[in-house]
Amino acid sequence: MKKVLVLAALIGACISAQAQEQVTSPDGHIKVNVALTDGVPNYSVILDNDTMICKSPLGVKTNMADFTKDIKNVKFIETKEVKESYSLPNVKIKDISYTANEATWLFYNDDEKRPAFAVTMHVDNSNVAFKYDIKAQRDRKSCVVDSEATSYVFPEGTTTFLCPQMTPQTGFARTAPSYETFYDYDAPMGKNGHGRGYTYPALFRVGDKGWVMLNETNIGGNYCGSRIETSGERSYAIKYPEMTEFGGIGSSAPGLMLDGKNGEVAHAETPWRTITIGRTLKPIAETTIQWDLVKPQYEAKYDYKYGRSAWSWIIRMDASCNYDEQKEYVDFAANMGWEYLLVDALWDTNIGYERMEQLSKYAQSKGVNLFLWYNSNGYWNDAPQGPRGKMHRMIDRRKEMAWMQKAGIKGIKVDFVGSDKQQTMQMYEDILADANEYGIMVIFHGCTLQRGWERMYPNFISCEAVRASENLAFGQNDNNIEALAGTIHPILRNAVGNMDFGGSALNKHYSKNNQRGTERKTSDVYALATAILFQTPVQNFAVAPNNITDAPAWAIDFMKAVPTTWENMRFIDGYPGKYVVMARQHEGKWYIAAINAEDKPLTLYINLLNYFEVGDIVNIYSDDANLQGSVKSTTNKVAKKAIKVVVPKNGGLVIK
C-alpha cells in the first residue's frame, strides 16, 4: 500500500514538471489547448488571437469504463514533428507533403495506477486532427465504444453550411441514409437538421474571422462512421450510427481490439477527427488532411487506368439498359475518345452474362472498357434492381469478380450501401480488397462518405455521397437550383474526397429525345466548367450521343479532350451558394473554371500570367447574358495582365 502511494506521488511530481497545455502549428498561427477541467478533458482551437473552436469536451464512454467524466489527472507526454511526402495520382493534388506538430496527453481515471486514454493532437498550418488511444482496463483485450463526449463548440455568431442526416430506412426502398440531402447555406446554429444531425464534411463560418470544416478519416472496418448532432446552442457532438440503419442489422457502437506489444498496456486507437481552419476558404478546398493521416491498406495489384466514361442511364434511364443501346453508347464513347462505359442497373436480365461478355469484347475492340453496376443487397433494404446478391458475401463476390476479370470488365459501381455502421464499413473495405485481386476499380453509390479511402485502397475511385445528377433527372427543383448546389461541392464535398456526381449534361432535357423530361437551367459552359470543378479520376459524364449533333461543336470538342486526373489545384475565389472559381492543372497545363449561382453577374479579373506563359494560346469559354456560350482564342500578352470576364447566373467560365 505504501509503495503505491509513493509511486503516485512521484507521478504527481512528474505531471507538474511536465505541464504543457498547448501545441502550435509549425508556422505558429494555430494553437490547440488541451486541459482537464472539473474532471472533464477538453480542448480549444485558436487562430492567431481568434478562438475558432471554444473549450469543447473530449472523451469516450466504453464498456470497460466511462472516460468522459471524473478523470483524475492529465499528463503531457511529448511533442514531436512529423513530416511526410507521398504521391496520389487519383486525387486533386498529386504530390503531397506536410509538416505537423503532434502532441500527446495521457488522462488517468484511477489515481494514476492505470491510464484511461491518450489524446494526440496533430497540428499543421491549416488543420488540427485528433484521435484517442484507449487503454485496456483490467486485462481486457477488446472493448466497445458506446459513445463519445467529443464535441465542437463554436463562437457566437457562427453560421453553418450543413447537410442534414437522412432518416434511416426512408427514401427509395429503405436505402437511406446516403448523404443526399440539400445543404443549408449560412444558417444559424441551434437547429438539428431533420432531427438527427448532420453528415460530414460540415462547414462553419466563424463570423468574419474565418472558416472551419469538420470531417473524420482513417475509417474502414476498424470503426463506424460518425455524424454530428446539435448538443447545445453553439455545440455539436459526435454521434454514432442509429441502430435502425442498414435494416437494423449490425451495431451502432464500434468495437476495438486492444493490443499491446512488449508488455505495454493493451490499447487501440480511434479514427482521426479533423478540423480544417482558414481565414479564407482556400485551406478548406485545398486540404489533404484526410490522406495525410492514413496509410495504404494494401498494394495495388494492377495498374489502374483512369479516364472518362459514358453513361446512358442518366439521360435514358432503365429502359436504355439493353444490348443495342449499350452498343450505341460504346460507339459514342469511342467517338468521344473516352476510355469507359458504365452499364447501369438491370443488365443482368436485360442483357445477360453471355451477351455482356460479347459487349465487353466489342467495347474493347473500340478501345473502350466497361464498368458494371451492382446492387449491394443483401438483406438490409428493398432495392429491387439486379444484379442482386452478388456483392455482400465473399464467396459470391469473388466468383463474380473472377467472371468480370475473364470478361475484361475494369470496374464496378456498387449501389444502395447506405449506413455508417462498422459492419457496413467492413463491407466497403471487403469489396475493395477483393476487387483489387481481380483488377477491378470501385465506385460506390447510395453510400457513405469515404474517409481517407483514396490512399487506403488504391483501386477505390469515388463515392457519390452528394445530392448528385440523378436528382436533376428526377425533379425540376434540383435543376432550378443546380448552380446553387454546384457552388458548394468543389469547396466542401469534393475537398474531402473524389465525388461521383455524374454531371456535365449537354441535353436541354433529361430524356432520350431531348424534348421531354426535366429542363436544364444551366448553360453549356457551366457543363464544361463542372467537368473541371467536380473532380474524380473516372468521370461518368452525362453527355449523350445526340449531343454530337445537337450541342455546340466547341462543347463536344472540349469534352473529348477534358482530363480527369490532376497534379495540382488552386482555390481562387468563391462562396458556397454564390459562386466558385478554381484552377486545376493537368500535365503542366492549367484549367481555370468558374460557375455563378447569384442573380447578379459575377465579374472576375483573372491574371493569366499566374497560369500561362507569355505567347501561350489561351482559350476562353464564356456565356453572354442569355447563357449563349462561345469560345475565343487569344494569345497571352505580357502587357495585358488581368482579363475581365463576366459569368451570368447559371453560367460558367473555362480558361485553358
Site residues (CB under 5 A) for Ca ion? 446
b (16+ CB within 10 A) / e for 477-490: ebbeebbbbbbbbb
Beta bridge partners of residue 617, listed in sequence order: 635
Handedness of CA 46, 49, 52, 57 (dihedral sign): positive
State which residue, 47 or 463, has the beta carbon closest to Ca ion. Answer: 463
DSSP 3-state helix, strand, coil percentages of the chain (rounded to 5)? Answer: 20, 35, 40
State which residue, 446 or 576, has the beta carbon closest to Ca ion. Answer: 446
CB of 49 to Ca ion, least distance (A): 44
Position with the least CB separation from Ca ion: 446
CB of 443 to Ca ion, least distance (A): 11
State which residue, 316 or 413, has the beta carbon closest to Ca ion. Answer: 413
State which residue, 57 or 446, has the beta carbon closest to Ca ion. Answer: 446
Spatial separation of the C-alpha atoms in residues 650 and 527, rounded to whole Å: 10
CB of 245 to Ca ion, least distance (A): 16
Please provide the distance, in angstroms rounded to a whole number, between the alpha carbons at the two ends of the chain: 76
State which residue, 54 or 314, has the beta carbon closest to Ca ion. Answer: 314
CB of 467 to Ca ion, least distance (A): 8
| Cell output for 173 | 426502398
CB of 468 to Ca ion, least distance (A): 6
| Secondary element (H or E) of residue 593 | strand 589-596
Measured between alpha carbons, how far is residue 436 from residues 302, 304, 342, 407 in Å?
7, 10, 19, 16
State which residue, 75 or 445, has the beta carbon closest to Ca ion. Answer: 445
CB of 36 to Ca ion, least distance (A): 44
Collapse the DSSP code of 580 into the 3-class scheme (helix H, G, I; strand E, B; otherwise coil) and give the result: strand
State which residue, 446 or 577, has the beta carbon closest to Ca ion. Answer: 446
State which residue, 59 or 446, has the beta carbon closest to Ca ion. Answer: 446
Beta bridge partners of residue 274, listed in sequence order: 129, 215
Measured between alpha carbons, how far is residue 335 from residues 109, 339, 547 in Å?
67, 10, 12
Scanning the structure block, which residue is given the C-alpha cell 442498414?
Answer: 246
CB of 306 to Ca ion, least distance (A): 22
* Among 508, 594, 516, 494, residue whose Cα is nearest residue 543: 508
Spatial separation of the C-alpha atoms in residues 566 and 583, rounded to whole Å: 10
573 Cβ neighbours under 8 A, 6+ residues apart: 579, 580, 581, 604
- How deeply is 4 buried, as exposed, middle or buried, from its count of CB atoms within 10 A (0-12, 13-18, 19+)? exposed
- E strands within 169-313? 184-188, 198-206, 210-217, 227-232, 235-239, 255-257, 267-269, 272-278, 307-311
State which residue, 181 or 596, has the beta carbon closest to Ca ion. Answer: 181
State which residue, 112 or 245, has the beta carbon closest to Ca ion. Answer: 245
Collapse the DSSP code of 564 into the 3-class scheme (helix H, G, I; strand E, B; otherwise coil) and give the result: coil
CB of 372 to Ca ion, least distance (A): 17
State which residue, 204 or 501, has the beta carbon closest to Ca ion. Answer: 501
CB of 455 to Ca ion, least distance (A): 24
CB of 469 to Ca ion, least distance (A): 9
CB of 471 to Ca ion, least distance (A): 8
Beta bridge partners of residue 582, listed in sequence order: 571, 593
